[in-house]
Structure 1
């Protein structure tokens, strides 16, 4: 493959990071979404838009592929853990 062609770049990214370029982009989008879900009370549709997804359903599918649960459930679990920790700290 010629050094300047798109397939070559894709192969290099895959070899370096273990993911295809689109997989890397999806991972970063999910990482940014995790941070927002953890720290903001922003609606899922707005988070989806901020991290580069159009329809919220596309965001849910990508999130579930990487995290294993829907973003709304993940956010709820984080809040429950935080409340549980605060209760233990109050004792």
Structure 2
């Protein structure tokens, strides 16, 4: 099930769909996920999506709208609302800082 999340972060995963994929109830999946990762399945999905998005923002020259869609968000607004708490800044600022030349 984690492999499915990693392969297809853009899929419209729900807790019920992930539990079905894992062959267990939502409550059992939630308990096991919390014990293993410290996150519930949807929290893990969000963190993974933001990790993929951060890599794309840093390494590719694609529009933020395309990055948002690639990780399952249908609007830049929704993507930004998810990205900011995970990375501490909006996606555009993250891209700017991630690409800034390092001095030292």
How high is the TM-score relative to the length of structure 1?
A: 0.82
Instruction: Kindly name which structure, 1 or 2, has the bigger radius of gyration based on alpha carbons.
Output: 1
How well do the aligned residues superpose, as a CA RMSD in angstroms? 1.6
**How far off its partner does 1:72 sit?**
0.1
Structure with bigger helix share is: 1
1:8 aligns with 2:28: yes
Greater RCO (Cα-Cα under 8 Å, separation 6 or more)? 2
Q: Does 1:28 align with 2:48?
A: yes
Spell out structure 1 runs of 4+ moving beyond 2 A: none
Q: Which runs of 5+ in 2 are unaligned?
A: 1-22
Distance (Å, rounded) in 2 between the aligned partners of 1:4 and 1:27: 22
Q: Does structure 1 residue 17 correspond to structure 2 residue 37?
A: yes
CA distance in 1, matches of 2:59, 2:25: 41
TM-score (norm 2): 0.73
Q: Give unpaired runs (5+ residues) of structure 1.
A: none
